[in-house]
Homo-oligomer: A and B are copies of this chain.
């Protein structure tokens, strides 16, 4: 019995050990624009693995998204941090962030092109199985992954964390080929009730496979320890962060059929 336990412990150790997390900055194109994303994976990964696109908040691609990509890599996924704004375009403050996010939210066609360019980049990686792809996004990125779904992109699922639900072209929901998970703060003051109603109607009318969870006590930016600005309507909530991450893991297990 002692031998069995020891052997099992060795094996369990071997299974849970992962090599160093690797990352690589990658330039890619969308039209004439150069974008700069980051691919993150676990060294132990070889051969095609499920890929997860990570779309940034209004402040652009920051260490926050890279950290989430590392967390995904630790789970065995290959993650790619998208760059919607463009190489070197990194807002210095919330004023610039608002202007940039506003630009893309006002031009959904361009937003869809940008996020699809990032998706193509993820699918190109030899580490990634292009048939097993998810996209997640935070705030502005949450809106963006919903636009990715609305564009008809071939992904298995999208997850929005405290993203805006406004969709100027709700009829495009008929294009959606993937499952949709929305995770929202029940007390998010930036979430307009009319957008929420319209989103539900949009999903319902198109018979999308969708779910939405509201976390009590959570406001906007509930997953972000440092949302980058001071506002009582936007701050971190550890419980909602952990719960929404777990729900994402369950969603991935379902869409990638690993349980």
Partner-B contacts on A (CB < 8 A): 3-5, 7-8, 10-12, 180, 186-187, 200, 203-204, 207-217, 239, 242-243, 246-247, 250, 254
A203-B216, A209-B217 are contacts. A246–B250 as well, Cβ < 8 Å?
yes
Report yes or no: A211 in contact with B200, Cβ–Cβ below 8 A: no
Give 30 pairs: A residue, B residue, CB < 8 Å, sorted on A: A3-B7, A4-B8, A4-B10, A4-B11, A5-B11, A7-B7, A7-B8, A7-B11, A8-B8, A8-B11, A186-B204, A186-B210, A186-B212, A187-B204, A203-B216, A208-B216, A209-B216, A209-B217, A210-B217, A211-B213, A211-B215, A211-B216, A212-B213, A213-B213, A213-B214, A242-B254, A243-B250, A243-B254, A247-B250, A250-B250
Indicate how many identical chains form the complex: 2
Report yes or no: B4 in contact with A211, Cβ–Cβ below 8 A: no
Min Cβ gap A204→B in Å is 7
What's the Cα separation between A64 and B255 when bound, in Å? Answer: 28
What's the Cα separation between A210 and B247 when bound, in Å? Answer: 15
